[in-house]
Amino acid sequence: QLADARELYALLTGRVSAVTGQAALDPATNKYVAFGPRTRAGSIDVYSGFVQDSWRVTPTLTVNAGLRYDLQTPFVASNDIMTSVTMADVCGLAGIGSGGTYSKCNFSQPNATSGKAIPEFVQLTKGTQGYETDKNNFSPSVSFAWRPNVQSGVLRTILGNPDQATLRAGWSVAYERQGMNQFTGVFGANPGSTLDLRRDANIGLVPAGESWPVLLSQTNRLNQASFNETPAFPILTRENRADSISAFAPDIKIGRAQTWTVGFQRALGDDMAMEVRYVGTRGDQQWSTLNYNRIDGNNLRVDVLRDNGFLGEFQSAMANLRANNAAGGSRAGSFAYYGAGTGTAPLPIYLAYLNGRTDATNAAAYTGGSSTWASTTFASRLAAVPNPGAAASELDTNLTRRTNALKAGLPATFFVPNPRVNNVNVRDSGAFSDYHALQLELRRRLSKGLSASVNYQYALENGSAFDGFSFGRVMEGSGNVRHAIKGQWDWTIPVGRGQRFGANMHPLLDAIFGGWSMNGVGRIQARTLDFGNVRLVGMTTDELTKMYKFYRRTNASTGRVEIWMLPEDIILNTRRAYSVSNTTADGYSASLGAPTGRYIAPANSATCIQARAGDCAPRTTII
């Protein structure tokens, strides 16, 4: 255990591997101070006014209506320690697009290089607004209550007591106010408010003229890195994606929610009433963050991979891997092009990134073997569970491979619009959601010592998902509490003075046995579980729902009793469906084998690759 031994030896002998520290910009002096506190301060102002009135239109109809206006000013910095960027810096080399939430940069032009080559950070000085003012924040509201007051006939039977039968409905709009961390978390994430004073083996821990090791006892060698205490703006982004950008979309809107409800209440006897309600909420202009430079994961930008031609080449690489595995020998496990008549196709993009060459039709150009074309890292993305987003990310996030691609003539913006930086996190107001609920409520007022309330709710909740800049966001279902029964009750036991039993009992007995009550609350709920964008093989969603429960099994290896949530065959074959190999004919793990029977599988397969969620499997699988 050499690594453990070396670490233990270094600890016991006091060897130092790094000296860390941070300098923070002092808002009072505008100078960097070693180990100083960082205070990110700012404010927003909210000005509101409303008018509201109530009209009793008839003895049985009441109407309420109002209009509110909210002016929420943009975030304004209260000191000078944070930094911001313009949209030109956000879009970088690709350049600014035509506008709109999903076309602020030239996302669909992989060869665009007319923008800003070196983005920069400017000081967000005191009093500077972080984005434009959203002035269109009117909040109307209207509601009514109507008592039918039917005294006889069939409707009297249906509606019940005229004093209790009431129909209510309403609609309103409300705007959201964000917490301060939403603002300081964006502007404070940019470089400028702090300096890293770290010194390690790669950054001057042992300068010229000194020797290893650096010992804990050598206090004169444990100082932090030197720095210039005077900040210099603008701050240019560093090479090789050493920086990330955080910004607000300049036209960001204030999030809002529209809520509407319709309910009917009627009496059930003298002491009970029942109400049936529908409640709906639609949220729009909701804030979310998109990483403009991300090409895999949640922001799966397969649309970009399609536009730049990589998706088509990725499918050719999949075919190459299958052909080479079928041929066997030295070709097994490789997705390289082996020449005419071999069943393989040239891969110019891969060749540019992996070998820095342009002669894609030359089979001899595909060199590197296990470190490139037969590498498990690259080839496994082409097997039974293809993943073009991860494959593109592995090419683009490596400096050597990016250098190769530039050498071969591919543009720096081939995969991302801003190749100078790592992440480009932009907060916009393009998200949305909705909520629908049916509510049944039974209430018993206090009578004969008993009061109670029971409520049942059936709810559906949906949220928006980002599908890429070509598609935007779409609504999809999400896991939530689908069914909920809640109840509370209070019963005064009728024993004691003035009660039904023991009305004249002795004061001592009354103190012991009188005045007692019983109360309680209860809740039963059934919530949903979202398995996500997956394929169900050999079973339906209803069948999966019925099988999702506790299973008690004894582990053959340990003899211990274990609890699992699905039958053993589904778990085993689901593991097989997600375990891939780049050397087997079917693309699945040689040790586990291919899945059979019933199982949960990834959305992508050898025969279908999604351009957006839902193309090859349901967007959500909710049970």
Question: What does the alpha-carbon distance between residue 345 and residue 360 come to, in Å, rounded to a whole number?
Answer: 9
Residue 470: what pLDDT? 84
Phi, psi of 165 (to 5 degrees): -70, 115
Q: Which pLDDT score is estimated for 444?
A: 94
Residue 110: which of 607, 469, 438 has the closest Cα? 469
Contact between 327 and 335 (Cβ < 8 Å): no
Burial of 419 (0-12, 13-18, 19+ CB in 10 A): buried
Q: What residue has token string 């930008």? A: 301
User: What is residue 399's predicted lDDT score, i.e. its pLDDT?
Assistant: 95
Q: What's residue 107's pLDDT?
A: 87
Q: Choose among 529, 528, 530, 536: nearest CA to 602.
A: 536
- Among the listed residues 264, 225, 41, 322, the one whose alpha carbon sits nearest the alpha carbon of residue 146: 264
Work out the angle at residue 463's Cα, subtended by the Cα atoms of residues 459 and 469, and round it to the nearest 5 degrees: 165
Burial of 194 (0-12, 13-18, 19+ CB in 10 A): middle
Q: What is the pLDDT of residue 301?
A: 59
If one counts every other C-beta atom within 10 angstroms of the C-beta of residue 42, the result is: 20
**The token pair that represents 178 in the structure block:** 């964000």
Looking at residue 25, what is its pLDDT?
94
Residues 6+ away with beta carbon under 8 Å from 115: 88, 91, 92, 93, 94, 95, 96, 105, 106, 417
**Distance between first and last Cα of the chain:** 47
DSSP-assigned beta bridge partners for residue 517: 492
- Cα 527 to chain centroid distance, Å, stands at 20
CB of 439 within 8 A of CB of 456? yes
Alpha-carbon distance of 123 to 190, in angstroms, equals 10
- What would the two tokens of residue 491 be? 């019963």
Would you state the structure tokens that stand for residue 297, as one six-digit string? 């994961």
pLDDT score for 497: 86
> Which residues, 6 or more positions from 498, have their beta carbon under 8 angstroms from its beta carbon?
none
The pLDDT score that the predictor gives to residue 345 is: 97
Residues in the chain: 623
Give mean pLDDT in consecutive 10-residue pieces for the chain, a chain of 623 residues: 94 94 93 92 95 95 97 95 96 92 88 93 94 96 92 76 87 95 94 93 90 94 91 94 96 96 91 94 96 71 81 95 94 96 97 97 93 92 92 93 96 94 96 96 91 96 90 88 95 89 89 92 94 95 95 94 96 96 92 96 92 89 93
Whether the CA torsion 267, 273, 274, 277 is positive or negative: it is: positive
Please state the separation of Cα 600 from the chain's center in Å. Answer: 23
| DSSP state letters, 129-168 | BSS--B---EEEEEEEEE-----SHHHHHHH--TTT-EEE
| pLDDT score at 298 | 46
User: Is the Cα dihedral 328, 330, 334, 336 positive or negative?
Assistant: negative
